[in-house]
Chains A and B, each alone.
Chain A
């Protein structure tokens, strides 16, 4: 058994850590939030030049042949810096479906530019009544001579407002909640009938609501076999869960460490706050939650990367634990900072907000508990 990183992974990890340390602080982040694309084009370019976007793609596709473990290393550091760039949306999600379903021509046309960062993707799968189930798809594809036209609305499409193309799930047969009958397509965002309404989420990231009005999907746009899109979609969402779980682990580390530091500086009643045992024990619990999440993150990531039988259960367990811990660590970090904890001035509140959005993405804490128990 061995939880050490390989020499290569360690090098990458160190370089990401340095990059995040050098480039992300609250002030520079706040200058980007809600402005222009909502992230730094310059950072995006640097990331691509450092080769991070290719980590989890095969060598044939122009990547480095890595897997979810590499993404985990990256995302944990991103979580420590509250990184704004659309790595999850474009590389893990959009790229994730594409690498699983794309034919030769599609890979050639898109993957190269996704990996070099010149094009960005977003995954449009969730709908108003999906209730966290990726197979709950009502957006309908109507058969045409050469393919389909699709109509309906996709919601909470992360970075959908800046994506060049959208990976879209739509129903081509069966009932709304059936796992079969779901098809996937890659649709340029500027195609006729696509209306994108971007907005900010509470964590300062970008999301979008995307309406499709009789949008033409030709055979060339289809990803994989008609009606059989669910497996690839689900596998990609699982990758997304692993990625944001890693991000959450990074964010929780910052929160508990900031709390430990703050309570040693702040004095009340002629004592550092850290002298109060109730706070000491609470911080011990925050630390424990973080470590537990890390353990389950490793477990689930390896299970998925190795294609284990228990992968899906691991995913449910992980997303549940991460959500529970995110609330515990976030709420207590805020509480222990007192009034300062609820201001925009200190970074704890911002990490907390990111954790809240992570909790709600890809199925929340309760949803995954129910799935695990089912």
Chain B
């Protein structure tokens, strides 16, 4: 066991820091121009614009240590906004199961951040039980198209997405996991209607999407018909590691401590009050442990392959910690967090209101609810099978 970074790692860390400071956002710059420039520069570094992509597809081919360093440094320095759907969710599926044509056609535009994707999995009747999805895709008689009918729900960013990757049902025979087919199609076309869903913070990120006789060319099918579930499962595992956000939590905790120190309580600050102080300490201890859980998981996962089911613990712990940070931030804002705009007093950070906390509640719901993650660990890791006769 050895946790010291090698001389190479330290040199890499230095290089990353230099890159991030050289390309940091400068006040007053056009954010979108800066963003595109940033990715361009990162690409020139040798795939730093797509850190998780394997070298074969233009990624940097980093060691686990290098990934860890990148995560830590970018959490601190910040990176341009990015959506995970194309880059981290669809791309690995295309790399593993897409045809050469599909890879050539879709990956470059994803990498260039030119095309925004959304994820069409969940349906009104198929949430946790995703495999029970019903959106139908029927092959036309000439075998050239699928005709898609049905409803997706909770589709994040469907209202701005150019394309959707979508799980559809092509057969009702056999068990429900069979007969699911993975299709790609443009969002801006006839037969697709997007309706906003407003969530608790008052914001619009998710949607209901209705498909009426949407024609999808067969060449937009990924892999084989009826095998979509297996592809999607790999994808869900990618999604799980992505949302643990541990490096970000470490930075966020530091910020939280600073904020809490600026809040007056009696003659001292909120950080001097016993109850708040011990909650911060408990959080920090959990975070210290989960940071090493992630390192252990990184060390076993060789770059490019899907992380195994043990990565589920990262999502569970990582999201719980993110929620606790949001909750403590709200608590640090005190009663001022209750304001929904229009207030001048109270700590500056409390102006975001309870919104951050409320949005954080979805972390344990999307990408597979925590209870479902625990079911997976029960079966896959603890090896427990139902014995009911």
Contact = CB atoms under 8 A, between A and B. Distances in A.
A370 B275 contact: yes
Contacts of B199: 342-344
A279 B371 contact: yes
Interface in A282-335: 327, 331, 334-335
Contacts of B354: 202, 353, 356-357
A56 interface: no
Interface stretch (B161-169, B183-191, B232-240, B343-351): B343-351
Contact of B200 (A132, A349, A357): A349
B364 A335 contact: yes
A202 B340 CA distance: 5
A3 interface: no
B383 interface: no
Interface stretch (B40-48, B100-108, B355-363): B355-363
Interface string B325-369: 001001100111111111111100000011101100110111001
B345 A209 contact: yes
Nearest to B357: A356
A131 B361 contact: no
B152 to A, nearest CB: 12
Contacts of B355: 202
Given A200-B341, A343-B200, A268 B129 contact: yes
Contact of B371 (A155, A209, A276, A331): A276
B362 A342 contact: yes
A360 interface: yes
A128 B129 contact: no
B341 A136 contact: no
B128 A373 contact: no
Contacts of A276: 371
Contacts of B202: 344
A153 B345 CA distance: 8
B263 interface: yes
Q: Which of A156, A203, A349, A365 has the most chain B CB atoms inside 10 A of its CB?
A: A156
Nearest to B131: A269
A364 B371 contact: no
B127 A338 contact: yes
A207 B153 contact: no
A153 B343 CA distance: 12
A224 B258 CA distance: 42
A149 B338 CA distance: 30
Contact of A155 (B154, B343, B366, B374): B343
A280 B198 CA distance: 29
A363 B256 CA distance: 20
B174 interface: no
Contacts of A136: 266
Contacts of A131: 263-266, 270, 334
Nearest to A273: B128
A256 to B, nearest CB: 17
B149 interface: no
B279 interface: yes
Given A331-B361, A338-B128, A366-B279, A202 B353 contact: yes
Contacts of A164: none
Q: Which of A270, A334, A361 has the most chain B CB atoms inside 10 A of its CB?
A: A334
A356 B331 CA distance: 10
Contacts of A344: 198-200, 202
B336 A156 contact: yes
Interface residues of A, number: 52
A155 B350 CA distance: 13
B188 to A, nearest CB: 25
A6 B212 CA distance: 61
B338 A199 contact: no
Contacts of A207: 338-339, 343
Contact of A370 (B273, B331, B340): B273
Contacts of A199: 339-343
Contact of B264 (A129, A268, A342): A129
Q: Which of B127, B340, B355 has the most chain A CB atoms inside 10 A of its CB?
A: B340
Contacts of A200: 339-342
Interface in A193-209: 197-203, 207, 209
A341 B335 CA distance: 24
B276 interface: yes
A151 interface: no
B267 A366 contact: no
Contacts of B129: 268-270
Contacts of B122: 339
A6 B63 CA distance: 74
Nearest to A361: B335
A207 B354 CA distance: 15
Given A153-B345, A338-B365, A342-B361, A361 B265 contact: no
Contacts of B374: 278
B153 A339 contact: yes
B197 interface: yes
Contacts of B346: 128, 155
Contacts of A221: none
A267 to B, nearest CB: 8
A310 to B, nearest CB: 21
A338 B343 CA distance: 32
A364 B331 contact: yes
Interface in B272-328: 273-276, 279, 327
A333 to B, nearest CB: 10
A197 B342 contact: yes
Interface string A160-195: 000000000000000001000000000000000000
A345 interface: yes
A369 B276 CA distance: 10
Given A339-B365, A342-B358, A356-B358, 17 more contacts: A126-B335, A155-B336, A155-B345, A199-B339, A200-B339, A201-B338, A201-B339, A202-B355, A209-B345, A268-B128, A338-B369, A344-B202, A353-B200, A356-B330, A357-B338, A366-B331, A369-B275
27 contacts: A129-B264, A131-B264, A131-B265, A131-B334, A132-B334, A136-B266, A156-B335, A156-B336, A156-B338, A198-B342, A199-B340, A199-B341, A199-B342, A201-B339, A203-B338, A209-B343, A268-B127, A269-B128, A269-B129, A331-B361, A335-B369, A335-B370, A339-B122, A339-B153, A341-B365, A364-B334, A370-B274
7 closest pairs, A vs B, by CB? Answer: A199-B342, A366-B275, A268-B129, A128-B345, A131-B265, A129-B264, A155-B345
Interface of A: 126-129, 131-133, 136, 153, 155-156, 177, 197-203, 207, 209, 268-270, 276, 278-279, 327, 331, 334-335, 338-339, 341-345, 349, 352-353, 356-357, 360-361, 364-367, 369-370, 373
